[in-house]
Amino acid sequence: MPTSTQMKSKKNLHGILGVALLVCSEILMLKGIEPFASWFYYCAWWSYILIVDSLIYTIKKNSLIMNRGGEFLLMLFWSVFIWTFFEAVNLVLKNWYYVNVVAYRFIRWPGYAFAYATVLPGVFETTELLESLGVFKKSRVKPLSVNRYWIVGLLTLGIVSLGGVLLYPTYCFPLTWGFLIFLLEPINYLKGGTSILREWERGTLRKFYLLLLAGFICGALWEFWNFWAVTKWIYTVPFFEELKLFEMPILGFLGFPPFTVECYVFYNFISLFRYQRGWEEDTYGPNQGKRVKFPFAVGTFIAVSLFCLLTFSAMDEKTVNSYWPDVGELQMMRPEVLEYFASRGITTPHALLATIGSAQGKKELAQKCAISESEITQWVHLAQLSLVKGMGTRNAYVLTVIGVESFSDLAAQDPALLYDKLVTLAKEQLRPKGTAPPREAIVRLWVREARKKASNHQKVP
């Protein structure tokens, strides 16, 4: 039989797997190799979760995946639900949108779930790692005396915040990353569940501090890894469209710490319906013998799944702005040219530009396919246009209908007038099937990015 040391070594291999996956996906993403280029975010976050869990197990021989596996799997389900809830809120906020998304729904919707399943494990594993390292271990605060005024005040603040987000999203959108704390934390406290207020009563806010720090760390990683991915999100936050780090407005990073607290409070609220069983080491063990009644569990699963599917459908219409770019959708190429490109594996604008973006590439293609170099130059311009802020080939084609055929043309546009033209095209049903006109904020981002590219292009000798 293997020794205990050998068993531990074998059990803790998931950290090594995470490092290997992260390094490989980084290299392949930078080389533009699919599916790592488009699915890099997924690879990075699942790698991170494996690595952090392995570190936690190494430190204290007890981790979420290794010792609380059932809770980890359940957490994936609730993680999908919780982030989908915020996607539903974003249908009102319109603070972010997705580009270069998989075109096939049977892949796209599971892809949503696979990505959203990383949210809770990511922030909670980071919190537990910080706790294992002794961060904020000696922090103490003056004990709080929780009374009915605190409870009523927090609940009132939660209701007002939620109302502000839904009724005045342009000005109250920051409250999205806090209203659930105000609404659910008092309930967790009153029902005897895991509660930040109760910890405060005991003279400590260590968990609160750990969550805030974990949120900042995860937020930085979310934005860093999203920036390099092909399939990604882009922000259109009111008043903060210009000054950004990666794709996030600078002040937007302040939202990640309270968001992590919000996730913690939300999950603790869900735990109230599971006899207060939670994901943490001290809340996982109690009441393990008690099980939620089967009809209630099934009904919850169906309701949550239906909510997620309906939100996914609404996201496809309102939040997704472009799909995986396809050279065939550039609309300006003859069938025989497309066949030639397909035989060479040139299926995306990136690949097209890599092949014919240079003067030599244009010349070779012109000779092989008996095409004028001026016509090839049009393809190059259109391919470049489709890559502006993940615009995509369908949106790029629509722009050509109104005379915008290069990023230089786009840079010269007035965003408001261009948006009006795109809306008119949609009303006249001149857009490709299955596409909707972009929001005005997205058009502004396109024009701003095109102006940057045009400016950089002029600087190149």
Does residue 57 lie within any of the structural domains? no
What whole-number distance in Å separates Cα of residue 38 and Cα of residue 217? 23
Residue where a domain stops, chosen among 276, 294, 318 = 318
Does residue 270 lie within any of the structural domains? yes
Does residue 5 lie within any of the structural domains? no
Query: What integer pLDDT is reported at residue 2 of this predicted model?
Result: 41
Instruction: Identify the three-state secondary structure at position 6.
Output: helix
268 in the same domain as 362: no
Domain count, the chain: 2
Does residue 31 lie within any of the structural domains? no
171 in the same domain as 148: yes
User: In 136-193, where does DSSP find H-type helix?
Assistant: 148-167, 169-172, 179-190
Q: Show the tokens assigned to 447.
A: 């024009």
Q: Show the tokens assigned to 434.
A: 């299955």
- The phi, psi pair for 457, rounded to 5°, reads -65, -40
Does residue 207 lie within any of the structural domains? yes
Residue numbers of the domain that contains 386: 332-459
362 in the same domain as 242: no
Q: How far is CA 397 from the centre of its chain?
A: 27
184 in the same domain as 293: yes
238 in the same domain as 109: yes
Q: How many angstroms separate the Cα of 183 from the Cα of each of 119, 133, 264?
A: 21, 31, 13
Q: How far is CA 33 from the centre of its chain?
A: 21
Query: What integer pLDDT is reported at residue 169 of this predicted model?
Result: 94
290 contacts: CB under 8 Å, gap ≥ 6: 275, 277
Query: What integer pLDDT is reported at residue 457 of this predicted model?
Result: 61
* Residue (of 377, 445, 440, 452) closest to 408 by Cα position: 452
- What is the residue whose two structure tokens read 């604008």? 349
Query: What integer pLDDT is reported at residue 85 of this predicted model?
Result: 97
Question: Angle formed by the axes of helices 69-93 and 105-116, to 10°?
Answer: 110
Q: Enter the DSSP assignment of 439.
A: P
Q: How many angstroms separate the Cα of 403 from the Cα of each of 79, 322, 399?
A: 45, 20, 7
Element (H, E) at 255: none
361 in the same domain as 233: no
279 in the same domain as 146: yes
What whole-number distance in Å separates Cα of residue 191 and Cα of residue 272? 8
What whole-number distance in Å separates Cα of residue 444 and Cα of residue 430? 21
Residue 365 CB coordination number (10 Å):
22
Does residue 14 lie within any of the structural domains? no
Does residue 251 lie within any of the structural domains? yes
Q: What's at 73, amino acid-wise?
A: L
Residue where a domain stops, chosen among 318, 351, 379 = 318
Residue where a domain stops, chosen among 293, 318, 343 = 318
Q: How far is CA 271 from the centre of its chain?
A: 25
Query: What integer pLDDT is reported at residue 429 of this predicted model?
Result: 65
Instruction: Identify the three-state secondary structure at position 240.
Output: coil
Q: Which residues of 308-317 are buried (b: 16+ CB within 10 A; e: fewer)?
A: beebbeebbe
Query: What integer pLDDT is reported at residue 1 of this predicted model?
Result: 38
48 contacts: CB under 8 Å, gap ≥ 6: 18, 22, 122, 221
36 contacts: CB under 8 Å, gap ≥ 6: 24, 25, 28, 29, 43
394 in the same domain as 284: no
- What is the residue whose two structure tokens read 């003279």? 203
Q: Show the tokens assigned to 183.
A: 């609404």
337 in the same domain as 299: no
- What is the residue whose two structure tokens read 């095209």? 425
Does residue 220 lie within any of the structural domains? yes
353 in the same domain as 295: no
314 in the same domain as 336: no
388 in the same domain as 246: no
CA angle 213, 11, 24 (to 5 degrees): 65
Query: What integer pLDDT is reported at residue 426 of this predicted model?
Result: 77
Query: What integer pLDDT is reported at residue 372 of this predicted model?
Result: 78
pTM: 0.90
Query: What integer pLDDT is reported at residue 125 of this predicted model?
Result: 98
Residues of the chain with pLDDT under 50: 1-10, 460-461
Element (H, E) at 441: helix 440-459
